[in-house]
Amino acid sequence: MSKRLVAIGGVAAGMSAAAKAKRTNPELEVIAFEKSHYVSYGACGLPYYLAGWIDSVEKLVARTPEKFAKQGVTALVRHEVVEVDYPGRRLRVAALDEGREFWQPFDYLVVSTGARPVVPPLEGARLEGVFTLRQPEDGVAIRQALATAERTVIIGAGYVGLEVAEAFRAQGKQVTVVELQDRVLPNADAEVSELVLQELERNGVEVLTGVQVEGFAGDGRLEKVLTSAGEIPAELALLSVGIKPNVELASSFGVATGPTGAIAVDDKLRTNLENVWAAGDVAESRHLLTGEPYWLPLGDIANKHGRTAGTVIAGGRAEFKGVVGSAITKIFELAVSFTGLTEADARAAGFEVKSVWIKSADRAHYYPDPHPFHVKLVYETSGRLLGAQIVGHRNDALRIDAVAALLHQGGTVEDLRSLDLAYAPPFSPVWDPLLVAANQAK
């Protein structure tokens, strides 16, 4: 008799697991339950929908339930798994639009419940006009509200907050970013934050750092954001102060979380419970530089988690070895990319750290229309590379991937210095900026 795989949550990880399992073993019965209206959507694209660069939120969907059905995968939206009877190998599902519930048996389970925005316990945080951004429905609501809003406040200057700041400016709105810490993009090192701040200000974003949001006020709907630096009049506010993994359902039937608060998994995405996998934003990864569990809730990681889990469940061979923490974000004309540890993170992790910060350019000195290109290199006193940060222009910040590759291999500054990188005047100075940084690293 064929076995049944059920995924709880049908976005990146859940649908990747489902589709890959079915492709690997067509005998499997595969079902995914998704609480929202959409499966397989690219949440990372929501800021660009808000900017008006994508006309419909449906476009974020990679594959519809109909397409999954053609592959033999059942994807049910507006279906929330509300209880898991693990010993009975069944789960209780609420069909939200039908007002009914049913029990669904399973043999294999993938917990892919994702993460949700942190909403601080602030006065007025549930007022109309105060939003978080996570699901397509959030995007639709915000874009609707944006039509009549002129003054917007974004709370939190992480990369999502800043991507939305750009989106709101693209829509011609007044934007104030409020950040509790003393600089924007506080997960980057300070040199990077400084360049990002300049880019935000150059594009008309008002930035308040070291300012605490204390609440929201308004008569039914938002009229002002209350902060430690005074009131900011606004029709729309976005809370973007972080996310946390949706572990509650999994915890309720005995799935163990790790030190990060997300679900602990091995390199096959197995949890502590037999026949239960976890994948995506709800699950940890191993950080290859520290060897420790690490929570990296990003869409590309979720897809890889899902693909690995799906392969393993279907009886194939796959491993997810871990992450080095690579990421990139567009902030107006800047592209900021990361891999490995920042200097601050590396010190906190107990490494003996050195770093260099260099300014170069994105092309040969004589080639038209040059842009600055900054590299920060973080390394151990032994020479082992620990991380890099790039502030570039458009796609050139993808150069970070060369450092990411070296980090995976335990590479050193000397290894970086020796790299034969691609050069031509439209793409790079004759001394590639990564090599300039490596040459300066002593």
Q: Which of positions 36-95 make contact with a second copy (CB under 8 A)?
A: 42, 44-45, 48, 53-54, 59-60, 62
Which of 44, 122, 226, 421 is catalytic? The answer is: 44
In the complex with a second copy, the residue whose CB is nearer, 272 or 440, is 440
Contact 109, 276 (CB under 8 A): yes
CB of 86 to a second copy, least distance (A): 31
The residues in 287-346 that bind a second copy, with binding defined as CB under 8 A, are 288, 298-301, 303-304, 307, 319-330, 335, 337-339
- Nearest to a second copy of 228, 418 (CB atom): 418
Distance in Å, CB of 306 to a second copy, minimum: 11
Which residues from 361-380 bind a second copy, rule CB under 8 A?
362, 364-368
Beta-carbon-side half-sphere exposure of residue 220 (alpha carbons within 13 Å): 0
Give least dist CB 428 to a second copy, A. 8
Task: State both tokens at 289.
Answer: 């530089």
Residue among 217 and 327 whose Cβ is closer to a second copy = 327
The minimum distance between CB 324 and a second copy, in angstroms, equals 5
Q: Which of 267, 306, 314 is nearest to 7 (CA)?
A: 306
> Is the CB of 45 or the CB of 129 nearer to a second copy?
45
Q: Which of 294, 275, 274 is nearest to 283 (CA)?
A: 294
Q: CB of 247 within 8 A of CB of 263?
A: yes
Q: How far is the CB of 434 from a second copy (least distance, A)?
A: 8
Q: Is 44 an annotated catalytic residue?
A: yes
Size of the site for a second copy (CB under 8 A): 74
Residues 379-438 that bind a second copy (CB under 8 A): 394-406, 408-409, 411, 415, 418-428, 430-432, 434-435
Q: Is 154 one of the binding residues for a second copy (CB under 8 A)?
A: no
Q: What x/- string results for residues 3 through 42 when contact with a second copy is judged by CB under 8 A?
A: ---------x-----------------------------x
What positions carry a catalytic annotation? 44
